[in-house]
Amino acid sequence: MVPRDILISVIDGQGGGIGKSIVSKLRKQIPKDSGITICALGTNSTATNNMIKAGADIGATGQNAIVRTARESHIILGPMAIVAANSMLGELTPAMALAVSSCSARKILIPLNRCNITIAAELNSTTEVYIDYSIKLVSQYIDQLKL
């Protein structure tokens, strides 16, 4: 069964640079009339606006927007910090982290060691390489949702 609409949420904070890059690359892969909505969710308005400028279909800012939309999302992308309470210099609240980590959406996280979480693996690539790989994972998961 194919969902009527697939919701992909991109969550970022601070300046929204990682989210902007993710949205820009998603937009190149996903046409506007595809039945897939790209939603920019920022912990602040700067992050949200930068993701919208990069091509997100819709956007919202703040804790309530993230908590509410996480429940409706099929896929959530963002830096690893979006599942860590009080990360991003405190912008990512415990309620946001709980909503993202406990929702049923497929979570695709960009590994960054800036939130006092270290992945026990050799990570020698750039952030852009991880973002490119995350876009590939999104495509694979969308194909699974369409089955």
Contacts for 33 with CB less than 8 Å, ≥ 6 apart: none
Comparing C-alpha atoms, which of 121, 134, 103, 124 is closest to residue 18?
Answer: 134
What is the number of H-type helices and E-type strands within the chain? 5, 5
Mean pLDDT of the chain: 92
Report pLDDT digits (tens) over 17-62. 999 999 999 999 999 889 999 999 999 999 999 999 999 999 999 9
**Integer Cα distance of 9 and 107 in angstroms:** 10
pLDDT at 8: 98
Q: Is 134 exposed, middle or buried (0-12, 13-18, 19+ CB in 10 A)?
A: buried
What band does 144 get if pLDDT is binned at 50, 70 and 90?
confident
d(CA 123, CA 130): 10
Cα gap 22→1, rounded to integer Å: 27
For residue 105, the model assigns a pLDDT of 97
**pLDDT value of position 2:** 38
pLDDT for 3 equals 44
pTM equals 0.92
In tens, the pLDDT along 57-104 reads 999 999 999 999 999 999 999 999 999 999 999 999 999 999 999 999
Provide CB contacts within 8 A for 7, sequence distance 6+: 36, 37, 39, 69, 72, 73, 74, 75
Say how far apart CA 50 and CA 29 lie, in whole Å: 19
**How much is the average pLDDT of 129-138?**
94
CATH fold for the domain made of 6-145: Rossmann fold (3.40.50)
pLDDT of residue 1: 32
Alpha-carbon gap, residue 60 to 66, rounded angstroms:
8
